[in-house]
């Protein structure tokens, strides 16, 4: 168990608890938070038992960063037990485990947000700000409107005029079509901005166009000529 003073500008964050069984990742998270929060006490715990020991000592965190993979729990049971003990805590789950059903279950159990472990430090800063402002954060691919997004992806894939793209490239292309800049796309998909740029370069090459504008024109024309487009798909193509 560790405690350190960080140089709390966001909301009223005075105490942060990082729950992760990998000391190096916990330390890296602490360093990232020190850039975001001013004069916060940051503690880390590697097991659920250590979490409860911390709470028993009188430490009540304003913000909790919670990893699902802990050595003394199975599945999301550790998160559920923690929420029973501290039901009003603002909890951001950060985990390498990710699926639509899992994220929705965590939200139903009281999580304020979910972030994949490979998210960038800038994304972490943005998400912490959202949560401490009282807003929830869920990456685009794990939101409840995913069904509509899946329909849109099927429409892209079924269009004979459009080359085959990966699901991630399709998500990025849809966001390009509604005018989202690379930084916003990175936030919404929980990707590093450099990763987004790489995907865009690949999909432009696949589409055989030189820039984003040409890609949008190509997609709009192909989808319009297809006919019978689902309204949800059409909404992605409106500026």
The pLDDT assigned to 10 comes to 52
Helix, strand or coil for residue 212?
helix
CATH number, domain containing residue 13? 3.40.50.2300
Q: Is the same domain home to 56 and 129?
A: yes
Domain with 152, as residue range(s), is: 146-236
Q: Is the same domain home to 104 and 31?
A: yes
Last residue of a domain, one of 88, 108, 142: 142
Alpha-carbon span 167 to 172, nearest angstrom: 9
166-170 contacts: CB < 8 A, separation 24 or more?
A: 168/199, 169/199, 169/202, 169/203, 169/206
Q: Is the same domain home to 22 and 40?
A: yes
Last residue of a domain, one of 97, 123, 142: 142
pLDDT tens by residue, 164-216: 778 788 888 888 887 788 888 888 888 888 889 999 999 899 888 899 888 88
Q: Is the same domain home to 53 and 67?
A: yes
Nearest to 223 by CA among 174, 159, 163, 164: 159
Helix, strand or coil for residue 80?
helix
The pLDDT assigned to 239 comes to 32
The pLDDT assigned to 151 comes to 47
CB of 81 closer than 8 Å to CB of 127: no
The pLDDT assigned to 64 comes to 95
The pLDDT assigned to 5 comes to 46
Model confidence pTM above 0.75: no
The pLDDT assigned to 159 comes to 55
Residues of the chain with pLDDT below 50 are 3, 5-7, 9, 147-148, 151, 228-239
Q: Is the same domain home to 129 and 213?
A: no
Q: Is the same domain home to 122 and 153?
A: no
Q: Specify the number of domains making up the chain.
A: 2
Q: Is the same domain home to 57 and 174?
A: no
The pLDDT assigned to 175 comes to 84
Q: Which residue has the tokens 């998210």?
A: 119
CB atoms within 10 A of CB 38: 12
Last residue of a domain, one of 74, 109, 142: 142
Nearest to 23 by CA among 86, 80, 67, 85: 67
The pLDDT assigned to 192 comes to 85
Q: Is the same domain home to 118 and 133?
A: yes
CB atoms within 10 A of CB 88: 8
């Amino acid at each position: 168990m560790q405690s350190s003073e960080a140089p709390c500008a966001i909301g009223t964050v005075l105490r942060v608890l990082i729950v992760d069984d990998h000391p190096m990742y916990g330390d890296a998270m602490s360093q990232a938070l020190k850039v975001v929060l001013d004069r916060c006490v940051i503690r880390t715990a590697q097991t659920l038992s250590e979490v409860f020991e911390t709470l028993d000592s009188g430490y009540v965190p304003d913000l909790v960063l919670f990893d699902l993979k802990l050595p003394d729990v199975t599945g999301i049971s550790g998160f559920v037990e923690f929420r029973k003990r501290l039901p009003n805590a603002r909890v951001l789950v950060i985990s390498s485990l990710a699926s639509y059903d899992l994220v929705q279950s965590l939200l139903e159990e009281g999580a304020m947000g979910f972030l994949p472990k490979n998210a960038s430090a800038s994304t972490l800063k943005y998400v912490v700000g959202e949560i401490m402002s009282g807003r929830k954060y869920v990456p685009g691919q794990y939101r409840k409107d995913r069904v509509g997004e899946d329909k849109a992806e099927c429409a892209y894939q079924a269009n004979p005029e459009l080359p085959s793209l990966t699901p991630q490239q399709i998500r990025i292309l849809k966001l390009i079509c509604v005018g989202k800049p690379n930084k916003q796309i990175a936030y919404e998909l929980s990707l590093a901005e450099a990763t987004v740029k790489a995907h865009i370069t690949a999909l432009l090459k696949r589409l055989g166009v030189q820039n984003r504008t040409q890609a949008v024109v190509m997609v709009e024309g192909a989808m319009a000529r297809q006919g019978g487009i689902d309204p949800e798909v059409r909404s992605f193509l409106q500026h």
